[in-house]
């Protein structure tokens, strides 16, 4: 593939691994050169990978070292070529340079990556949580984050909301439901026994 | 949330406003097509900056899928873009099949193209209905729903469901088309081209429609690509990027259809693209129906497809799984092992490019399932498109990008 050959020619010391899976080439590169390499792929006249199809991360907890991988899926609209670039990110220093200077669309994709994995993108103009609330604790898509949280770990606002719902239950239009809710709230032991 | 409230409170306290005016639009707003919240900074009625806040419909589909088998995860993809759920299912199945190296029978491929294009017409009709309603044309809404209803009835004949169909399976589709379905679709494709001019006469030369849409939300081709726009929103700017042609999947390379492209890059151009696409989709369904007659009686599920319990139809023996020795049993069903590897499969759904990036570690569950949702990227482009426009035009911009929050938040 032309893109891989060009990368090998221009960045001989920065390529760690080249792999092919299901007809798609993925190139693992060094973390500190990612912006240069992506800018080269974006700007080079014979490659023109101008469409950043996807930017995401993979958590390899217990499978691989270093733990995280940030994945860039690129597509060239003109030459109809696909390439995947990866960088490895260690757990104790989860930082990558931001590519918002090349693609504006990377802004939100990086924000989501930060929200879900806790990987920080240096040079990002506005790095904050996007899907989860601002005061959420933990990074949900990490492998050590449970699918169901224990009750004491639950989001604070959600606890408040449930409390409020209980207080407002006495004004409920459907007294049947309110009474049922009161029973549930009042006697957790009997429910557990059942 | 807290800083927003602080700003609004500060605004209320002060008697005179020299500073820009902050307005919170949404999440419950009729024209935001779901629970989208926009935080606007206004100067008079002109938008200075716009900050979309999302996540009100976040259900954690990516996390949930890691705890499910591939077949179980497919059901979740219905809930992404619930208006064109069949197209999402096909995209997911294609990704898994590409990873497994599974060959799908030709008849199943043709049926998949038909349901994809039906979903496209459904989605575009709903888009036109709501977009016109936002801008102030009430009548179009009624006509569009009349025709969408017809297609939903056909979906009901195909698989029993109208909205969240879950009809395709990994390795094929669940049920074969019966003769009644084919007849009904022939009737539909015969009639539908006559219906499109009905909408066009209502709004094409409507002075209000033209004033509200022409020159609103203009985006240049270079910027559109840079912002990550895909689908009709990108083709309205004159970029020939359609995955059905750029990276063909299923049998799209055998079909004769045009990629709809307009060059103005404004809301009106995107409207024209979608109208053209509906005609092309109708043409594709017609061609596929002809091809379907040639493959009558052939199977619709691959021999070595993962085993699934189906109410009726073909139920295969566990030995047919590709890796019978490594498979294991979940709730009485043998789950095949998907080989180690990773794949990014993008398909052209009505909204744009829907990509599934699947990383498999060699078990029956995906290690990581990433969904590249077009609506997510399109919402991130709203600030760039809306800057300098009036608040009323923002509604047109939101409408023209065709966003669905179920897909955006996942």
Instruction: Flag if B58 and A131 touch (Cβ within 8 Å).
Output: yes
Mean pLDDT of B287-313: 72
Give the tens place of pLDDT for each residue, B42-82.
887 888 888 888 888 888 888 888 887 787 788 888 888 88
Least confident of B100-114, B136-150, B159-173, B309-323: B309-323
Q: What is the DSSP letter of B337?
A: P
Mean pLDDT of B343-363: 88
Residue B310 has pLDDT above 70, yes or no: no
Nearest to B380 among A51, A108, A147 (CB): A108
Nearest to A80 among B55, B246, B380 (CB): B246
Task: In whole angstroms, give the CA distance from residue A63 to residue A150.
Answer: 26
Task: In whole angstroms, give the CA distance from residue B39 to residue A149.
Answer: 31
Chain A residues closer than 8 Å to B410 by CB: 131
pLDDT in the model for residue A181: 63
Least confident of A31-45, B20-34, B149-163, B357-371: B20-34
B46-53/A68-76 β-pairing: unpaired
Sequence-distant (≥ 6) Cβ neighbours of residue B194 within 8 angstroms: none
Chain A residues closer than 8 Å to B99 by CB: 22
Mean pLDDT of B390-406: 86
Chain B residues closer than 8 Å to A56 by CB: 357, 370, 372
Task: In whole angstroms, give the CA distance from residue B307 to residue B305.
Answer: 6
Query: Scanning every residue of chain A, which has its alpha carbon at the shortest distance from the alpha carbon of B61?
Result: A141
Task: In whole angstroms, give the CA distance from residue B188 to residue B256.
Answer: 19
Instruction: Flag if A73 and B241 touch (Cβ within 8 Å).
Output: no
Nearest to A53 among B63, B372, B410 (CB): B372
CA dist list (Å): A5 to A40, A86, A155, B127: 13, 17, 50, 44
Query: Scanning every residue of chain A, which has its alpha carbon at the shortest distance from the alpha carbon of B56?
Result: A131
Q: Contact, B26 vs B38, CB < 8 A?
A: yes
Query: Scanning every residue of chain B, which has its alpha carbon at the shortest distance from the alpha carbon of A141?
Result: B63
- B179-203 and B106-135 helices cross at what angle (nearest 10)? 30
Task: Copy the structure tokens of residue A92.
Answer: 């104790």
Give the tens place of pLDDT for each residue, B215-257.
888 889 988 998 889 989 899 888 888 888 888 888 888 888 8
Task: In whole angstroms, give the CA distance from residue A83 to residue B42.
Answer: 42
Query: End-to-end distance of chain B based on CA atoms, in angstroms?
Result: 21
Mean pLDDT of B381-399: 87
Residue A191 has pLDDT above 80, yes or no: no
In chain A, count of helices (H) and strands (E)?
6, 7
Residue B202 has pLDDT above 80, yes or no: yes
Task: In whole angstroms, give the CA distance from residue A30 to residue A16.
Answer: 7
Task: Copy the structure tokens of residue B405.
Answer: 């929050």
Chain B residues closer than 8 Å to A49 by CB: none
Q: Contact, B266 vs B217, CB < 8 A?
A: yes
Nearest to B361 among A51, A54, A63 (CB): A63
Residue A70 has pLDDT above 70, yes or no: yes
Domains of chain A, CATH where assigned: 2-142 (3.30.460.80), 146-186 (no CATH)
Chain B residues closer than 8 Å to A141 by CB: 62-63
Sequence-distant (≥ 6) Cβ neighbours of residue B29 within 8 angstroms: B36
Residue B308 has pLDDT above 60, yes or no: no
Task: In whole angstroms, give the CA distance from residue B241 to residue B259.
Answer: 8
Q: Which residue has the higher pLDDT, B315 or B8?
A: B8
Q: What share of chain B is helix, strand, coil (3-state, %, to 5)?
A: 50, 15, 35
Residue A147 to chain B, least CA–CA distance (Å): 7
Q: Which residue matches tokens 């593939």?
A: A1
Give the tens place of pLDDT for each residue, B106-154.
888 999 999 999 999 999 999 998 888 888 888 888 888 988 999 999 9
Strand order in the sheet with B341-349: B341-349, B352-360, B366-372
pLDDT in the model for residue B264: 86
Nearest to A24 among B239, B343, B410 (CB): B343
Least confident of A92-101, A128-137, B27-36, B384-393: B27-36
- Characterize B297-331 residue by residue with b for buried, 16 or more Cβ atoms within 10 angstroms of its Cβ, and e for exposed: eeebbbebbbbbeeeeeeebeeebbbeeeebeeee
Instruction: Flag if B55 and A58 touch (Cβ within 8 Å).
Output: no
Instruction: Flag if B341 and A130 touch (Cβ within 8 Å).
Output: no
Mean pLDDT of A95-123: 89
| Strand locations in chain A (E) | 15-21, 24-29, 51-59, 68-76, 81-89, 95-97, 120-122
Query: End-to-end distance of chain A based on CA atoms, in angstroms?
Result: 64
Q: Contact, B347 vs B354, CB < 8 A?
A: yes
Chain pair A-B, CB pairs under 8 angstroms: 101
Residue B291 to chain A, least CA–CA distance (Å): 28
CA dist list (Å): B265 to A85, A98, A104: 31, 29, 18
Mean pLDDT of B320-336: 47
- Characterize B66-84 residue by residue with b for buried, 16 or more Cβ atoms within 10 angstroms of its Cβ, and e for exposed: bebbbbbbbebbbbbbebb
**Which of B288, B278, B251, B313 lies closest to B104, judged by CA?**
B251
At residue B309 the predicted structure's pLDDT band, cuts being 50, 70 and 90, is very low
For chain B, give the mean pLDDT: 83
Q: What share of chain A is helix, strand, coil (3-state, %, to 5)?
A: 35, 25, 40
Instruction: Flag if B226 and A50 touch (Cβ within 8 Å).
Output: yes
The SS3 of residue B241 is coil
Mean pLDDT of A76-98: 89
Domains of chain B, CATH where assigned: 69-385 (1.10.645.10)
Residue B316 to chain A, least CA–CA distance (Å): 26
> Mutating which of B72, B223, B368, B401 best tests the A interface, going by the most A Cβ atoms within 10 A?
B368
Mean pLDDT of B159-179: 85
Mean pLDDT of B297-308: 71
Task: In whole angstroms, give the CA distance from residue A85 to residue B146.
Answer: 47
DSSP H or E segment with residue B291 = helix B267-294
**Which of B116, B130, B93, B52 lies closest to B409, judged by CA?**
B52
Q: What percent of chain B has pLDDT over 70?
A: 87
pLDDT in the model for residue B334: 53
Instruction: Flag if A104 and B226 touch (Cβ within 8 Å).
Output: yes
> Mutating which of A25, A76, A104, A117 best tests the B interface, going by the most B Cβ atoms within 10 A?
A104
Query: Scanning every residue of chain A, which has its alpha carbon at the shortest distance from the alpha carbon of B36?
Result: A131
Instruction: Flag if A105 and B2 touch (Cβ within 8 Å).
Output: no
Alpha helices in B101-220 (DSSP H): 106-135, 138-159, 179-203, 207-213
Q: Residues in chain B, how many?
A: 410
At residue A31 the predicted structure's pLDDT band, cuts being 50, 70 and 90, is confident
Q: Which residue has the higher pLDDT, B213 or B302?
A: B213
**Which of A143, A141, A73, A50 lies closest to B343, judged by CA?**
A73
ipTM for this model: 0.82
B168-169/B172-173 β-pairing: antiparallel
Task: In whole angstroms, give the CA distance from residue B87 to residue B115.
Answer: 7
Q: Contact, B239 vs B93, CB < 8 A?
A: no
Q: Taking an 8 Å Cβ-Cβ cutoff, which residues of chain A contact chain B?
A: 21-24, 26, 50-54, 56, 58-59, 63, 71, 73, 75, 77, 80, 82, 84, 103-105, 107-109, 112, 116, 130-134, 140-141, 145, 147
> Mutating which of B57, B219, B228, B234 best tests the A interface, going by the most A Cβ atoms within 10 A?
B228
pLDDT in the model for residue B392: 84
């Amino acid at each position: 593939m032309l893109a891989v050959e060009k990368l090998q020619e221009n960045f001989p010391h920065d390529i760690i691994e080249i792999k092919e899976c299901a007809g798609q080439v993925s190139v693992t590169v060094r973390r500190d050169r990612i912006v240069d390499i992506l800018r080269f792929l974006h700007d080079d006249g014979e490659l023109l990978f101008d469409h950043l199809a996807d930017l995401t991360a993979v958590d390899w907890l217990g499978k691989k070292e270093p733990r995280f991988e940030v994945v860039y899926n690129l597509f060239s609209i003109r030459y109809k070529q696909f390439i995947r670039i990866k960088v490895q990110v260690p757990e104790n220093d989860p930082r990558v340079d931001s590519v918002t200077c090349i693609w504006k669309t990377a802004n939100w994709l990086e924000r989501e990556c930060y929200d879900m994995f806790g990987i920080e993108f240096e040079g990002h103009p506005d790095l904050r949580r996007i899907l989860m609330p601002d005061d959420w604790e933990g990074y949900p898509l990490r492998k050590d984050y449970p699918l169901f949280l224990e009750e004491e770990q639950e989001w604070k606002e959600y606890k408040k909301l449930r409390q409020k719902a209980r207080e407002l239950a006495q004004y409920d239009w459907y007294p049947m439901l309110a009474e049922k809710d009161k029973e549930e709230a009042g006697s957790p032991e009997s429910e557990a026994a059942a | 949330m807290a800083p927003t409230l602080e700003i609004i409170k500060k605004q209320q306290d002060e008697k005179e406003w020299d500073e820009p005016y902050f307005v919170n639009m949404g999440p419950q707003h009729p024209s935001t097509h779901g629970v989208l919240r926009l935080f606007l900074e206004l100067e008079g009625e002109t938008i200075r900056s716009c900050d979309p806040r999302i996540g009100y419909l976040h259900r954690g589909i990516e996390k949930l899928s890691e705890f499910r088998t591939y077949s179980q995860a497919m059901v979740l993809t219905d809930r992404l873009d619930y208006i064109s759920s069949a197209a999402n299912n096909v995209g997911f199945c294609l990704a898994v099949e590409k990873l497994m190296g599974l060959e799908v029978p030709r008849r199943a491929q043709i049926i998949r193209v038909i349901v994809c294009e039906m979903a496209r017409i459904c989605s575009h009709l709903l888009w036109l209905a709501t977009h016109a309603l936002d801008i102030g044309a009430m009548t179009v809404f009624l006509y569009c729903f009349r025709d969408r209803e017809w297609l939903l009835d056909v979906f009901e004949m195909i698989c029993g469901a109208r909205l969240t169909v879950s009809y395709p399976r990994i390795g094929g589709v669940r049920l074969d088309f019966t003769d009644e379905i084919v007849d009904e679709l022939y009737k539909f494709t015969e009639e539908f081209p006559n219906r499109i001019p009905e909408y066009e006469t209502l709004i094409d030369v409507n002075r209000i429609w033209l004033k509200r849409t022409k020159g609103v939300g203009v985006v240049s081709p270079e910027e559109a690509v840079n912002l990550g726009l895909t689908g009709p929103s990108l083709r309205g700017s004159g970029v020939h990027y359609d995955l059905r042609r750029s990276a063909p999947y299923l049998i799209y390379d055998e079909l004769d259809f045009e990629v709809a492209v307009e060059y103005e890059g404004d809301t009106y151009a995107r409207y024209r693209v979608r109208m053209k696409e509906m005609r092309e989709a109708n043409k594709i369904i017609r061609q596929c129906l002809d091809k379907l007659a040639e493959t009558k009686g052939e199977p619709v599920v691959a021999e070595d497809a993962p085993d699934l319990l189906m109410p009726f139809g073909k139920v295969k023996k566990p030995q047919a799984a590709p890796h019978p020795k490594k498979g294991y049993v979940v709730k009485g069903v043998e789950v095949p092992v998907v080989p180690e590897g990773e794949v990014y499969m993008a398909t052209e759904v009505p909204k744009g490019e829907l990509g599934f990036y699947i990383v498999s570690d060699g078990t029956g569950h995906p290690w990581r399932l990433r969904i590249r949702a077009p609506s997510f990227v399109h919402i991130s482009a709203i600030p760039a498109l809306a800057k300098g426009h009036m608040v009323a035009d923002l509604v047109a911009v939101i409408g023209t990008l065709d966003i669905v929050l179920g897909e955006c938040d996942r």
